Amino acid sequence: MVKVIIAEKLLKANEEIAAVNRRLLEGKGVVMVNLIGGPGAGKTTLLEKTLPLLTDKFCVAVIEGDIYTTYDAERIAKTGVEVVQINTHGACHLDAKMIGDALNQLPLDELDLIIIENVGNLVCPAEFDLGDDYKITISSVTEGMDKPAKYPLAFREAYGVVITKTDLLPYTVFNLGSYVEELFKINGNLKIFPVSALKDEGIEDWSQLIGRMIWRKRRNLTVI
């Protein structure tokens, strides 16, 4: 019981800080996208392929969440975008306070877009609002068909799902059509993007979605 009350208090405190982050970015006209996926789903590789398609049009920064290492941040830094590393030191997800601290280190006036790569975990990150505009869940074909049913929160809360490693479809028992149907049952409004980073397939469609997110926010700003 004590455990539940503490958890509720933590989540409430997190929500309040997430709202502060959201207001801050709203004022600056910056879009923030939160990438959620299990270990090895392909989040970093997807980013490595996506960022070059965005950085010619937009000013982008990445916040990298990891338990201990800076491996992913080093990979992302090579694409030329600004990276802030958050090491959670054991914690299984990012929270709004960590993101607030990271935002303080970024030149928000110059940015169009911040992409957060959350800690590799399909469970806990889905529970913590970071103040982002869009949650995107990354799920690889090699993880199997049952992930939306087994980890529903990550898919229900998502704006879009990127299905990675489609180059491995011929060697797995994964049925892409049935999987997409399954996703729509959980959330009928999902934007779904099958991609292969290895073969550079689907990356452009997915990066155009991010472009539309940015244009949408710009339009809202003009109207206001």
Distance CA 223, CA 187 (A): 30
Judged by beta carbon, residue 124 or residue 209, the one nearer a copy of itself is 124
Contact 96, 129 (CB under 8 A): yes
Residue 97 · residue 129 · CB < 8 Å: no
- Give the pairing type, strands 113-117 and 82-87: unpaired
By CB under 8 A, how many residues form the interface with a copy of itself?
36
Determine if 4 is a binding residue for a copy of itself (CB under 8 A). Answer: no
Q: Using CB under 8 A, pick the residue from 34, 50, 121, 187 that binds a copy of itself.
A: 121
- Residue 127 within binding range of a copy of itself, rule CB under 8 A: yes
First to last CA, the chain: 46
Q: Is 199 in the site for a copy of itself (CB under 8 A)?
A: no
Whether 103 and 21 have beta carbons less than 8 Å apart is answered as yes
Q: What is the 8-class DSSP label of residue 83?
A: E
User: In the complex, what is the shortest distance from the CB of residue 168 to a copy of itself, in angstroms, rounded to a whole number?
Assistant: 6
- Going residue by residue from 155 to 184, which x/- string records binding to a copy of itself, judged by CB under 8 A? ----------x-xx--xx------------
Task: Please report how close the Cβ of residue 95 comes to a copy of itself at its closest, in angstroms.
Answer: 10
Going along 18-159, which residue ranges are E strands? 31-36, 60-66, 82-87, 113-117, 134-140
Q: How far is CA 51 from the centre of its chain?
A: 13
Q: How many whole angstroms from its chain centre is CA 137?
A: 6
- For a copy of itself, the closer of residues 39 and 188 by Cβ is 39
The span of 19-27, 61-69, 100-108, 206-214 binding a copy of itself (CB under 8 A) equals 61-69
Q: Is 71 in the site for a copy of itself (CB under 8 A)?
A: yes
Q: Does 143 help bind a copy of itself (rule: CB under 8 A)?
A: yes
By CB neighbour count within 10 A (0-12 exposed, 13-18 middle, 19+ buried), where does 3 fall? Answer: exposed
Contacts with a copy of itself by CB under 8 A lie at 3, 6, 10, 38-40, 66-69, 71, 90, 92, 119-124, 127, 140, 142-144, 146-147, 149-153, 165, 167-168, 171-172
